[in-house]
Amino acid sequence: IKFAVFASGSGSNFEAIAQAVRDGRLQGELVLLVTDKPGAYAVKRAEALGIKVCAHNPKDFTSKSAYETAILEMLHQKEVEWLVLAGYMRLIGTVLLQAYPKRIVNIHPSLLPAFPGKDALGQAIESGMKVTGVTIHYVDEGMDTGPVIVQEPFKIPDGWERDEIEQVIHSIEHRLYPETLNRLFAEALEESK
């Protein structure tokens, strides 16, 4: 299965996924990094890993559809079959949703439907949650609202600082995302037989 990762920021999940592909823990071909932030650190990681980058600034387009159509052109060129969102800070629009039905997934640092949107961990801490976690879900037109694929909870030890919790959440993500993608891709291949 050929897939693209979408990221707007640091790209630590992107790198973890790329590593898993290299190690053979994730059977698939990571052919493209798509970003809406040409200056994102994720782009540097892609360059270091030798993975092609598609970087368009949405501001250079007259509409979301025009922006996504430009991305879609590149996705078709690279024969991308699945879209993997990892810190892509933008809603997916109808152009990509229609082109990849049930083939777009996202990772989110909370137990959805709790704390969708930005700074999920901050929201969880703010409301005094004793348990948080990570969710991987299919993407629909909403913000962090599609059907859940897998969730992993994490019990927050008393007195922990945000930084410490964040590190654990990231380490869960970096293991869970490659593992889950490997399963989804295997299932997709099975179904297409």
Q: Which of 37, 103, 108, 137 binds ligand GRF (CB under 6 A)?
A: 108
Structure tokens at 153: 């909870």
In the bound state with ligand GRF, the residue whose beta carbon lies nearer, of 103 and 108, is: 108
Asked if 45 and 16 count as a contact pair (C-beta separation under 8 A), the reply is no
Asked if 21 and 183 count as a contact pair (C-beta separation under 8 A), the reply is no
Q: Which of 5, 7, 17, 92 binds ligand GRF (CB under 6 A)?
A: 7
User: 76 an active-site residue?
Assistant: no
Task: Using CB under 6 A, count the residues that bind ligand GRF.
Answer: 13
Neighbours of 177 (CB within 10 A): 25
Distance between CA atoms of residues 66 and 57, nearest Å: 11
Q: Which of 21, 75, 109, 181 binds ligand GRF (CB under 6 A)?
A: 109
Instruction: Find the shortest distance in angstroms from Cβ 151 to ligand GRF.
Output: 12
Question: Is residue 87 near ligand GRF by the rule CB under 6 A?
Answer: yes
Query: Is 136 marked within a binding site?
Result: no
In the bound state with ligand GRF, the residue whose beta carbon lies nearer, of 43 and 107, is: 107
In this structure, what are the phi and psi dihedrals at residue 117, rounded to the nearest 5 degrees?
85, -160
Q: At what angle do helices 162-192 and 12-23 cross, to 10 degrees?
A: 50
Distance between CA atoms of residues 169 and 182, nearest Å: 20
Structure tokens at 43: 């782009």
Distance between CA atoms of residues 110 and 83, nearest Å: 21
Question: Is residue 178 near ligand GRF by the rule CB under 6 A?
Answer: no
Instruction: Find the shortest distance in angstroms from Cβ 7 to ligand GRF.
Output: 5
Q: Residue 23 half-sphere exposure, CB side, CA atoms within 13 Å?
A: 12
Residue nearest to ligand GRF (CB): 87
Query: Is 90 marked within a binding site?
Result: yes
Instruction: Kindly name the residue from 108, 137, 170, 174 that is annotated as catalytic.
Output: 108
Q: Which of 28, 173, 181, 185 binds ligand GRF (CB under 6 A)?
A: 173
3-state secondary structure (DSSP) of residue 153: strand
Query: Is 64 marked within a binding site?
Result: yes
Question: Is residue 132 near ligand GRF by the rule CB under 6 A?
Answer: no
Binding stretches for ligand GRF (CB under 6 A): 7, 9-14, 86-87, 107-109, 173
Q: Which active-site residues does the annotation give?
A: 108
